Structures are given as structure tokens and as C-alpha cells.
């Protein structure tokens, strides 16, 4: 099990007051860079979370690993963090409180560093409730991530039962019902189902709909949190992430697969492969077609366009 104490942050210190632009430096275990193929991927990921554990900015940066890295278990990192004008809104709501999540290759490799952006701290000081919440953001996010994992696992079990009733294969279009994209419609349908048993007598998926509704109620806090958390991640498919980094320039986005050590840049809006960033593995032609098809879906295309266009200037 990964020991968070192996991370050493030199600057800033926890709860230190920082400017809108500051230097983040320290040491991370070399194991953070090791991929499933036992190679080093020289990147560290940063996510910036508000007081509700919602990610409002995400960046990555390269480490400069020298010959001495073979003689040590820790790697030094240093980068300049610069918040943007668009970030100011989220930081202001949090009364200047920001958690920096430093992440490696694997899900269990992370470290939360709470800081306070002094320019956006209230003149009368930060509310005690906000400060208390600031200390617990990491714990809250870990719990939500566990809840989302449980939710998805149970939702998949319900989906498989729907498919059995449909008597179709996974490659065909299932006659299941997903209401998460329009909760108003979902609530109306569920109300009718609750109040009108006779009308829907014999409805094939009544039990699955009921269980899905109960799941959404049980994990509603985590589900509400999940959307903002994935800000910048447009879509996920077969372990691949289609992601737009706020510190990037020009019209491109990244396709990342942490398990395979893949970080590829694709052009927008024609979705052509530009290059691999320190590639360890490449994307197969079959997966390439799947990625393009996913990006061309109207909702995903719009999200990519919006995320690329919203890259603001630094202040």
C-alpha cells in the first residue's frame, strides 16, 4: 500500500498563503513514474480542488530525471503554478482555500497539499467552517471516489440484467433506460412508476428501474460531485481519457492511458494524431478508430470545443 508520507513538499508548506503564481517543489517516490510495463514516464499530474472537492484546473509537467535517479528512490520536482482569471471565481467562493492534488501513475499515488491564495482571502478572514472543510477535502474526495466505484459496479450489474432480458449481445444496442442525463425526465417517470402500478403492470424493466433509482439516491452526493471533478476530462473509453489541459496552447487535446503509459496529442477538430509525448506504447489502429468515433459524437465534440476555447490568459 502506498505511503503518502513518502512525498516531501519543500514549498509551499501546508496552509501557507501563496500568490496567484507560485513555485511548487518537492520530492516524489520514483515508483510514481513507473508504468505497468516497468518503464519510467517522466510526468507528474496536478489537479486543483475547491472547498467542495471539485477540480477547477488540471495540468501536467515533465520532470528532468538525470543519471542520479538510478541511485535514489525519490525524484525532485519543481514547477511554476499560475492561476487564471477563470480560476478566480472558484477560489473566491472557497475564500482562497485550494487543495493541490499531486498524482502519479496509479490511483493510490496521490498527495493533497492545502494552500491559501492570499489575494482572494476575505479581509475579515476565512470562516472557521471553511477552514475545517479545507482540512478534510482529501478525505472527502477519497470517500466520493470509493462511492463512485461502488455505484458504477452496482450499475453495471443492473445493466447486465437488462441485457439478459433484452436477450442481445454487448455489441448490439441495448433497450435499457438511462436517465442520468436528464434528471427531470427521470424524476417524472419514477413518480409515475411509484404512483401508477396498474399502468405499468408487466413493464419489463420495473425492478431494474427501481434499483437504479435507489442507487442514485444512495450515492447522490458522490454523483453530484463527480461531474465537476472530471472538468477537463471530456470522455473516457477502455481506459483512455480524452483530456484538455488548461495550460496547453493551440487547438489540441490529449489522449491518455496511464496503465499503458500513453500520452498522445490529437488535433481538433479533425482528430488526427499529432505525436506521442515520450511515448512508451502506441495506440492501435482499432482503438484509434474508436477514439475518433467517440470524439465525433455531438456531445463530446461540443465538450472538446468548449474546453479548448475556454483556455484563459494567466493573471
Q: Nearest to residue 33, comparing CAs of 66, 3, 80, 74? A: 74
Write down which residue in 169, 191, 226 finishes a domain. Answer: 226
- What per-residue confidence (pLDDT) applies to 134? 96
Distance CA 78, CA 111 (A): 15
Phi, psi (degrees; rounded to nearest 5) at 26:
165, -155
- What per-residue confidence (pLDDT) applies to 30? 87
Q: Is residue 124 part of a domain?
A: yes
Q: Is residue 171 part of a domain?
A: yes
35 and 122, same domain (yes or no) = yes
- For the chain, residues with pLDDT lower than 70 are 1-5, 37, 66-70, 166-203, 205, 227-232, 246-249, 258-259, 278-280, 310-315
Q: Is residue 315 part of a domain?
A: no
157 and 208, same domain (yes or no) = yes
Helices 137-166 + 220-229 axis angle, to 10:
100
- What per-residue confidence (pLDDT) applies to 314? 43
175 and 69, same domain (yes or no) = no
- What per-residue confidence (pLDDT) applies to 56? 86
Reported as half-sphere exposure (CB side, CA atoms, 13 A), residue 71 has a value of 3
- What per-residue confidence (pLDDT) applies to 313? 45
Q: Is residue 305 part of a domain?
A: yes
129 and 9, same domain (yes or no) = yes
- What per-residue confidence (pLDDT) applies to 282? 87
Number of domains in the chain: 3
Q: Is residue 15 part of a domain?
A: yes
What's the Cα-to-Cα distance from 47 to each of 29, 82, 167, 216, 308, rounded to whole Å? 18, 13, 43, 26, 17
28 and 100, same domain (yes or no) = yes
End-to-end CA distance of the chain: 40
Inter-residue long-range contacts of 146-150, CB under 8 Å, 24+ positions, other chains counted: 147/219, 147/221, 147/222, 148/219, 148/222, 148/223, 148/226, 150/219
Q: Is residue 314 part of a domain?
A: no
Contact between residue 74 and residue 5 where contact means Cβ atoms under 8 Å apart: no
Q: Is residue 183 part of a domain?
A: yes
33 and 105, same domain (yes or no) = yes
Q: Residues 3-18: pLDDT tens digits?
A: 455 899 999 999 999 9
- What per-residue confidence (pLDDT) applies to 210? 82
For CA atoms 235, 284, 107, 219, give the dihedral sign: positive
Q: Is residue 175 part of a domain?
A: yes
- What per-residue confidence (pLDDT) applies to 115? 97
Write down which residue in 226, 255, 290 finishes a domain. Answer: 226
- What per-residue confidence (pLDDT) applies to 74? 87
Against a cut of 0.85, is the pTM above it? no
Distance CA 266, CA 26 (A): 31
222 and 238, same domain (yes or no) = no
74 and 173, same domain (yes or no) = no
115 and 169, same domain (yes or no) = no
- What per-residue confidence (pLDDT) applies to 16? 97
Domain harbouring 98, CATH code: 2.60.40.10
Domain extent at residue 285:
232-309
Write down which residue in 116, 135, 154 finishes a domain. Answer: 135
26 and 131, same domain (yes or no) = yes
86 and 58, same domain (yes or no) = yes
236 and 214, same domain (yes or no) = no
Amino acid at each position: 500500500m502506498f505511503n503518502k508520507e513518502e512525498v516531501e513538499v519543500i514549498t509551499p508548506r501546508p496552509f501557507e498563503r501563496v500568490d496567484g503564481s507560485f513555485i511548487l517543489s518537492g520530492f516524489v517516490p520514483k515508483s510514481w513514474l513507473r508504468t505497468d510495463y516497468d518503464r519510467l514516464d517522466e510526468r507528474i499530474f496536478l489537479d486543483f480542488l475547491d472547498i467542495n472537492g471539485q477540480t477547477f484546473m488540471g495540468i501536467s509537467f515533465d520532470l528532468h530525471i538525470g543519471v542520479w535517479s538510478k541511485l535514489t528512490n525519490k525524484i525532485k520536482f519543481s514547477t511554476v503554478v499560475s492561476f487564471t482569471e477563470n480560476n478566480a471565481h472558484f477560489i473566491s467562493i472557497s475564500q482562497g482555500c485550494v487543495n493541490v492534488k499531486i498524482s502519479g501513475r496509479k490511483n493510490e499515488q496521490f498527495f493533497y497539499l492545502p494552500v491559501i491564495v492570499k489575494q482572494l482571502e476575505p479581509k475579515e478572514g476565512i470562516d472557521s467552517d471553511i477552514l475545517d472543510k479545507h482540512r478534510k477535502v482529501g478525505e472527502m474526495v477519497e470517500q466520493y471516489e470509493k462511492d463512485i466505484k461502488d455505484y458504477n459496479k452496482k450499475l453495471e450489474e443492473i445493466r447486465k440484467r437488462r441485457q439478459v432480458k433484452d436477450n442481445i449481445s454487448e455489441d448490439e444496442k441495448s433497450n435499457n433506460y438511462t436517465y442520468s442525463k436528464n434528471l427531470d425526465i427521470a424524476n417524472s417517470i419514477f413518480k409515475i412508476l411509484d404512483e401508477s402500478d396498474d399502468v405499468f403492470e408487466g413493464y419489463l424493466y420495473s425492478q431494474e428501474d427501481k434499483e437504479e433509482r435507489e442507487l442514485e439516491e444512495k450515492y447522490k452526493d458522490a454523483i453530484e460531485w463527480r461531474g465537476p471533478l472530471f472538468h477537463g476530462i471530456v470522455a473516457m473509453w477502455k481506459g483512455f481519457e480524452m483530456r484538455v489541459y488548461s495550460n496547453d496552447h493551440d487547438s489540441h487535446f490529449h489522449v491518455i492511458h496511464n496503465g499503458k503509459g500513453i500520452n498522445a496529442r490529437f488535433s481538433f477538430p479533425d482528430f488526427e494524431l499529432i505525436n506521442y509525448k515520450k511515448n512508451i506504447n502506441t495506440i492501435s489502429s482499432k482503438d484509434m478508430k474508436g477514439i475518433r468515433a467517440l470524439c465525433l459524437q455531438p456531445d463530446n465534440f461540443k465538450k472538446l470545443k468548449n474546453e479548448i476555447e475556454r483556455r484563459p490568459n494567466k493573471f
